[in-house]
Chain A
């Protein structure tokens, strides 16, 4: 995978930021070259020589004209940078959804992400699906950012800069991706024990593919008869206090929605791949994969765990 570099943008705010950044870097680069050059020149040219006569060099106490020059030039640079910055802030910071945008509510939890799509009535976790925005028919995504507990920060470097998710507040962020792909990011504000494993994946899809994904997510859980034993155990234990499986009595809200668990590629907010052995380990000992995770081990018998996993893998 290529690194999630901020200089490899695939969406509008990140693009604009790179363009703006180029100017800032150029100005800073020129200043660095000039000042470092002056320093190096001074220390080479005016080093004490071995054949020094021991007399003190001429004492120069200052010069108002020179001081004025190196005050005014930086002031001019600040004015240019300040105006450019103001213009870019005004262009990028939006508090109302742009027309035609897809609304997504992102809620930060210790240590996972919850995503609601109010238009479609679907909820998912940790892996966000959004459509590519076609310049002919723009479809940006506009986020309402909230937190359920402490402060988190939403950061997918290739799509946009970061914005915090703060309890009792609602922040906003928008992206307008141009190229399909999977973009990784993670929580950027320290939020407790597992801050490091509060990872994010954004799947940017062509519109048709995205619509197909939405339709699949809208369906209630397909509960296979063969998994009824595992389902019974799941619904008898505390699993249902935290997890929702739409179409069944499980309607807990503290943990990720599991209705379409198997449509996701990772577990525990990206800490491990979502495959059968790892899923089993996760149900049996979540703490071994993600130390400090809020999900407790349910103390089930090995056989019961097998049944629960058999049930979970049917949630496609």
Chain B
């Protein structure tokens, strides 16, 4: 619908259309990549607040042993909705949003390759997410069972089959994710096509900003990983309503088949979510170190090889399901191999900082924390890849700690960095440095309290997804610290939201290039005009603005 109405946004606004209806129409009907990017990011932040509150309620329940603040049914819904939302409705839209906003600007294009598809993708994502949340109202009552989905974000069969998950809650999970998945797929097609066909004059593949390279890899991973999930979800729907028997163990189906399908999506998905974090860091760290990225070509090669290896490691989520020895050894080794290109990246970022003049502005603070936290996440990843160790660790709180280190310590920290870094470009306004620092420190302390301690619970034998635990296991103090960390994280996020609101009230102008940066998005005005560049740029190196600022020492002499 929006796509059909799209051209209206491009035509000049009618005389009568003023006030909020005009603004609403402009945003709802838009096909502009920048508006869509901002809408993706904003809806991601809204879902982030909701899913974060879900986590806070869970931590309230788990702060004390034998607590009965919420029922097991409610708890199971909370962790299902928390995980599903954070992956599909927070991570995905935010990374696609930044890709949408930045790729055309970085490659000197006027829009994405398929603007209407772009709008369609956004609305599919949003309505998929709303459908999932509608389960809280719509799903109870029909069969007297269920409310929100409660089978966990990976919905293992046969628990998610009709026999054990009656009512419609699981159907909302299937359809909500399936629909928002179409949004991600169209976003991926769009980003690949845009980056491959719409680069400005002189921008060869080897001169694309690393951000664009990484988003291409991410987009290919989406094209590879999402269809198996969609297929498996359709199969599950067939099981539930048409008497198919793919996963129905009571009729001879295979419970493990679902796990292979799911993790064939699920593991590349981890890289889909974390590579954009690399992308933001690869733009931000050089600018605040005042140095060109160290080893551009190696960074590209490492990203591409992570993309390939990402598709061959899925069964490391399944070391406890009783696969053969050979299979276990293969998936263990190949998983450790991922550490090699990932390590290369970390070393290159450090080498970029080394010898620089590092400015500790808010985006850089988040990136430095990201470096150390992501290092920890990578090392606990090696521990989890070490199969015998994993037999102890899998499905324990150690795993919960590990993937929150990846997705919060890695991705979310860089998302915050990216928001502080590109917000001036998107709005023309600076975010408060003081609130940003407060946000950073509160969030860092809260994050460490919550997720560093979680490793300990796991090592002490606490499994994940339990709504309560007995008082005699020695887990009490650790769980209390974990829960208290949520308070600091929440305060940090409030500072973040306050910084955004304050920016619009204070209206400190950012100028075109507040960070003295080097990529093309900083050469146009803030916010950029509807068609981005009055005149399409022409580049001779990876850092066109460096060349402009340093005509005596341009990059193209060295590349």
Contact = CB atoms under 8 A, between A and B. Distances in A.
Interface of A: 1-7, 13-14, 16-17, 20-21, 24-25, 27-28, 31-32, 35-36, 38-39, 42-43, 46-49, 52, 56-63, 66-67, 70-71, 74-75, 78, 81-82, 85-86, 88-90, 92-93, 110, 145, 149-151, 153, 155, 157-158, 160-164, 166-169, 171-172, 184-197, 199, 270, 291-292
Interface string B243-266: 000000110111110000000000
A88 B463 CA distance: 24
20 contacts: A1-B472, A5-B459, A21-B388, A21-B389, A28-B380, A32-B379, A39-B350, A43-B360, A48-B357, A57-B355, A57-B357, A60-B294, A85-B387, A89-B332, A161-B391, A166-B255, A190-B159, A196-B465, A197-B468, A270-B470
Contact of A81 (B159, B386, B459, B465): B386
Nearest to A83: B333
Interface residues of B, number: 94
Contacts of B72: 193-194, 196, 291-292
B57 to A, nearest CB: 16
Interface string B416-459: 00000000000000000000000000000000000000000001
B201 interface: no
B383 A46 contact: no
A185 B151 CA distance: 22
Given A20-B389, A88-B388, A192-B159, A57 B291 contact: yes
Nearest to A75: B340
Interface string B286-298: 0001111011111
B321 interface: yes
Contacts, number: 280
B78 to A, nearest CB: 13
Contact of B392 (A17, A48, A151): A17
Contacts of A47: 357-358, 360
B328 A189 contact: no
B375 A36 contact: yes
A35 B461 contact: no
Interface of B: 71-73, 76, 151-152, 156, 158-159, 164, 249-250, 252-256, 289-292, 294-298, 320-322, 325, 328-329, 332-333, 336-337, 339-340, 343-344, 346-348, 350-351, 353-360, 368, 371-372, 375-376, 379-380, 382-383, 385-396, 459-461, 463-470, 472-475, 550, 553, 555, 558-559
Nearest to B332: A85
A36 B376 CA distance: 10
Nearest to A44: B358
Given A67-B298, A184-B473, A192-B164, A61 B459 contact: no
Nearest to B338: A78
A278 B343 CA distance: 56
A66 B466 CA distance: 47
Contacts of B390: 161
Contacts of B353: 39, 42-43, 46
A164 B259 CA distance: 13
A57 B356 contact: yes
B358 A46 contact: yes
A110 B72 CA distance: 14
Contacts of A35: 346-347, 350, 375
Contacts of A5: 459-461, 474
A196 B379 contact: no
Nearest to B466: A196
Contacts of B473: 1, 3-4, 184
B357 A20 contact: no
B294 A150 contact: no
Contacts of A270: 470
B395 A195 contact: no
B355 A58 contact: yes
A197 B152 CA distance: 17
Contacts of B356: 46, 57
Contacts of B380: 28
A201 B368 CA distance: 45
A110 B393 CA distance: 23
Contacts of A85: 329, 332-333, 336, 385-388
